[in-house]
């Protein structure tokens, strides 16, 4: 079970790094620059797929961690 948790963790980190920044204009807001930070941006195509896989891996990480903490699989 620990190996599965490590695999999910590595995949979760990798997919998290692949996602585009949602607040990439935050620095411009703090500096007073013109930014479309609050514009309505929808995820499409590959970005939506990566987002959904990341969500699924996050839920799997939570579930595996919870099951390991209850000592069911030990």
pTM for this entry:
0.68
DSSP state of 39: S
Residue 21 near residue 37, CB atoms below 8 Å: no
Residue 13 clears pLDDT 90, i.e. is over it? yes
Q: Could you report the per-residue pLDDT of 22-47, keeping only the tens digit for each? A: 555 555 555 555 555 555 566 678 88
Burial of 9 (0-12, 13-18, 19+ CB in 10 A): middle
Segment 44-60 mean pLDDT? 90
CB-based contacts of 22, cutoff 8 Å, min separation 6: 41
């Amino acid at each position: 079970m620990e190996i599965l948790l490590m695999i999910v963790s590595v995949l979760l980190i990798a997919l998290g790094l692949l996602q585009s920044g949602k607040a990439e204009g935050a620095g411009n807001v703090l500096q007073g620059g013109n930014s479309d930070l609050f514009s309505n941006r929808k995820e499409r195509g590959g970005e939506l797929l990566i987002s959904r896989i990341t969500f699924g891996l996050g839920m799997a990480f939570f579930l595996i961690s919870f099951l390991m903490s209850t000592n069911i699989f030990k």
